[in-house]
Amino acid sequence: MREVKDITSASNVMNEIFASDTLTLEELRHRLSKPAFKALQATIEKGVAIDPAIADTVALAMKTWALEKGATHYTHWFQPLTGLTAEKHDSFLTPTSEGSAIAQFGGKDLIQAEPDASSFPSGGIRATFEARGYTAWDPTSPAFIMRHSNGATLCIPTAFASWTGEALDLKIPLLRSIEALNKAAQKVLPHFGIQANKVSSTLGAEQEYFLIDEEFYLARPDLVMTGRTLFGAKPPRGQELEDHYFGSIPDRVLSFMTDAEHQLYALGIPIKTRHNEVAPGQFEIAPIFEPSNIAADHQQLIMQVLKNTARKHGMVALLHEKPFAGINGSGKHCNWSIGTDTGINLLEPGDDPQSNLSFLFFCAAVIRAVDVHQDLLRISVASASNDHRLGANEAPPAILSIFLGSELTGVFERLVSGKGSGKKPGLLKLGTPVLPHLPLHAGDRNRTSPFAFTGNKFEFRAVGSSQSISLPITVLNTIVAESIDVLGERLEAGLKKGKSLEEALLEVLKDTYKKHNRIIFNGDGYSEAWHQEAERRGLLNLRTALDAIERLTSEKNAALFAKYGVLNERELEARQEVMYDIYFKSVNIEGETTEWIAQTQILPGALAYLADLEAVSKSKAAARTAEQVTRATDALSDALEALKQQNAALGGDTVHEKAYHMRDRVLPAMGEVRKAADALEKLVAADHWPLPSYRDMLFIK
């Protein structure tokens, strides 16, 4: 059940504010001389290095624009390996010797800055080389103004690298992967008669999140410290309580959404908001797709604006994948396709036989890529928090598979079998001269698949709600680039032997489908039967984040990333190191927070209640309750002692060992504490219970 409702129909608002806080190319065209603009355009479109003189002119235009917008500071805005964004603000104002100040911001300030990078994880890259990193302007993503209560800052999207040139961020590999995809696609497009100067992936990410009242949030140290509840008995009717919520979107939620949207419009982010009721208190926001580099920057901004704006409205936006156990989790569906600068979506089945040939080629490339690199896709969404969601009954399993839908699967099956296509099997004789239009029927939508074809794009659904989408897109771009190359080479070999395009392609498609169709699954991905079937098919089932992260640096993966110039071995190892570290730290904080809350809030509450019961011990009811509470409290105390031991031990010296200790010892011990505490919650008087309940939190009034 999901209700879809547009709350942003006022198109005049759109026209007035859209991109008003974004330094668009259009705006720059007005502000720059013709040659300067041309030079900048060449940089953006063809990656031509920018001339320092031009950089000075652009910087001046940027500064003038930003000051007009009320900005007092500027920052190089970047994406460190934490998956968050980072900024260091510098004032435009530079004091003069006369005691006044002038606004200063030149080409050098624009192009490069040297933030004190020591507080960002580098996975060991900086430790052995240079302690410093630098940020470099990414001219392909527009600068923007970030507003806060007392002012505004010019944000310059940048890449973050070490002085030895190694990527310390998520953007550089993303840009490199876009280039890899571009090169691979450009090589094959001429075979299909398609003209393009540039090919890039396109991306639209649907962000799910929860909203709760700030008052409850502040009363839950677990939410404040870890982003999820570490305690909380399920309300009696759990998820079915949906119907309470249905149809009554509280005014404050609507006004929060409108506020957030307006800010996002101003930032040039084409939001198309909907809210749905998968779980009580859960919502979704989705922009229209954009080139993937820009979509990745915009996605970070969406998360930031949601979080900041909710606070202004007395609420908190929870982006964690599983803030409430037993209630639906949150994902971030990444809709991904490949597009040309001439406006062709290469994953859109066309109206004519010719364009279907290219569609089938690119589609087959994706099928091969997902099958060969199941591990990489799983790794790209691996985190301690996403482990609570993947494989649960409301999220795609940790097993990668592709939902193609019956129509498209049928097309491939007929290609292989040669049936239903006349005497001589041929691509264009698939029963109909032209492929059917494939926008799927509602009934053909499979929501249990981690990777689904949805008519003219693929939707990667295993991505977690709190994570940066940069790594998942980087992986997709890279693995598909490789598959395009592999299939493209086979195609060319066929053509060289004198085969027609149709014949050569048919062979490539048949061969690819036969080899990789084990990855296609159109059934129920939540079912136990699928888990068994997947095992029979030899598909990977990397249940936990650590099982996945372990494989990041495998020979296959290192070779792939090196071949496509996306990540060298050191950069890859660094990322693995950081992933272990983040896993370890986040679970470690959870373990300690669990201990702390149980020891200092829940136990004292239960014991105080016992003391109260003592006072009326002559009552049969009191005696009975006291006995039950005593038993449950002792169970909690036992579980707590066991957790304390695990928290005190770290399991080893390396982040690798520590991460495994967290998964294998701390998480289970936390689970026991929670089980005991949740049982106690149902026994202890509400006024003795120190934490707001799930019921309190999930229904925003």
The site for ligand ADP (CB under 6 A) is made up of 202-204, 206, 286-289, 333, 335-337, 345, 456-457, 459
E-assigned strand segments in 219-289 = 282-285
CB of 524 to ligand ADP, least distance (A): 18
CB of 470 to ligand ADP, least distance (A): 15
Cβ burial, residue 496 (10 Å; 0-12/13-18/19+): exposed
Query: Is the Cβ–Cβ distance between 173 and 215 less than 8 Å?
Result: no
Alpha helices (H) along 233-352: 242-245, 251-266, 292-312
- Nearer of residues 73 and 332 to Mg ion, judged by Cβ: 332
Cα gap 150→155, rounded to integer Å? 16
- Nearer of residues 333 and 551 to Mg ion, judged by Cβ: 333
Alpha helices (H) along 267-405: 292-312, 353-372, 374-379
Cα gap 629→205, rounded to integer Å? 47
Interaction partner, residue 580 (ligand ADP, Mg ion, none; CB < 5-8 Å by kind): none
Cβ burial, residue 228 (10 Å; 0-12/13-18/19+): buried
- Nearer of residues 207 and 385 to ligand ADP, judged by Cβ: 207
Which span (4-12, 92-100, 201-209, 405-413) binds Mg ion, by CB under 5 A?
A: 201-209
Interaction partner, residue 522 (ligand ADP, Mg ion, none; CB < 5-8 Å by kind): none
Interaction partner, residue 559 (ligand ADP, Mg ion, none; CB < 5-8 Å by kind): none
Closest CB to Mg ion belongs to which residue? 333
CB of 337 to ligand ADP, least distance (A): 3
CB of 331 to Mg ion, least distance (A): 9
Cα gap 370→377, rounded to integer Å? 8
Interaction partner, residue 75 (ligand ADP, Mg ion, none; CB < 5-8 Å by kind): none
Cα gap 485→11, rounded to integer Å? 44
Which span (34-42, 51-59, 246-254, 328-336) binds Mg ion, by CB under 5 A?
A: 328-336
CB of 228 to ligand ADP, least distance (A): 24
- Nearer of residues 4 and 648 to Mg ion, judged by Cβ: 4
Q: Is 332 in the site for Mg ion (CB under 5 A)?
A: no
CB of 288 to ligand ADP, least distance (A): 4
- Nearer of residues 76 and 333 to Mg ion, judged by Cβ: 333
- Count of residues engaged in binding Mg ion, rule: CB under 5 A: 2
- Nearer of residues 2 and 620 to Mg ion, judged by Cβ: 2
- Nearer of residues 141 and 200 to ligand ADP, judged by Cβ: 200
Closest CB to ligand ADP belongs to which residue? 204
Interaction partner, residue 337 (Mg ion, ligand ADP, none; CB < 5-8 Å by kind): ligand ADP
CB of 272 to ligand ADP, least distance (A): 7
- Nearer of residues 179 and 459 to ligand ADP, judged by Cβ: 459
Cα gap 40→57, rounded to integer Å? 10
Q: Is 333 in the site for Mg ion (CB under 5 A)?
A: yes
**Letter string b/e over residues 20-55, b meaning 16 or more CB atoms within 10 A of that residue's CB:** ebbbeeebbeebbeeebbebbbebbeeeeebeeebb
Interaction partner, residue 345 (Mg ion, ligand ADP, none; CB < 5-8 Å by kind): ligand ADP
DSSP 664: I
Query: Is the Cβ–Cβ distance between 264 and 308 less than 8 Å?
Result: no
> In Å, how far from its chain's centre is CA 631?
43
Interaction partner, residue 204 (Mg ion, ligand ADP, none; CB < 5-8 Å by kind): ligand ADP
CB of 379 to Mg ion, least distance (A): 22
Angle, helix 569-597 to helix 620-648, in steps of 10 degrees: 150
- Nearer of residues 409 and 446 to ligand ADP, judged by Cβ: 446
Angle in degrees, CA 562, 582, 466, rounded to 5: 90
Interaction partner, residue 63 (Mg ion, ligand ADP, none; CB < 5-8 Å by kind): none
Number of H helices, E strands in the chain: 26, 15
Helix (H) or strand (E) holding 160: strand 151-162
CB of 634 to Mg ion, least distance (A): 47
The residues, any chain, with a CB within 8 Å of residue 572's CB and separated by 6 or more, are: 552, 553, 557, 558, 561
CB of 274 to ligand ADP, least distance (A): 8
The neighbouring-strand residues paired with 86 are: 78
Query: Is the Cβ–Cβ distance between 154 and 62 less than 8 Å?
Result: yes
User: Letter for the amino acid at 498?
Assistant: G
Q: Is 126 in the site for Mg ion (CB under 5 A)?
A: no
Interaction partner, residue 200 (ligand ADP, Mg ion, none; CB < 5-8 Å by kind): none
Neighbouring C-beta atoms of residue 478, cutoff 10 Å: 29
User: Letter for the amino acid at 401?
Assistant: S
CB of 342 to ligand ADP, least distance (A): 14
Sign of CA dihedral 408, 411, 417, 419: positive
Cα gap 554→567, rounded to integer Å? 13
Interaction partner, residue 202 (Mg ion, ligand ADP, none; CB < 5-8 Å by kind): ligand ADP
Query: Of 296, 506, 479, 219, whose CA–CA distance to 372 is shortest?
Result: 479
CB of 205 to ligand ADP, least distance (A): 7
CB of 375 to ligand ADP, least distance (A): 24
Q: Is 516 in the site for Mg ion (CB under 5 A)?
A: no
3 state SS of 86: strand
Interaction partner, residue 289 (ligand ADP, Mg ion, none; CB < 5-8 Å by kind): ligand ADP
Interaction partner, residue 83 (ligand ADP, Mg ion, none; CB < 5-8 Å by kind): none
- Nearer of residues 204 and 329 to ligand ADP, judged by Cβ: 204
Q: Which residues bind Mg ion (CB under 5 A)?
A: 206, 333
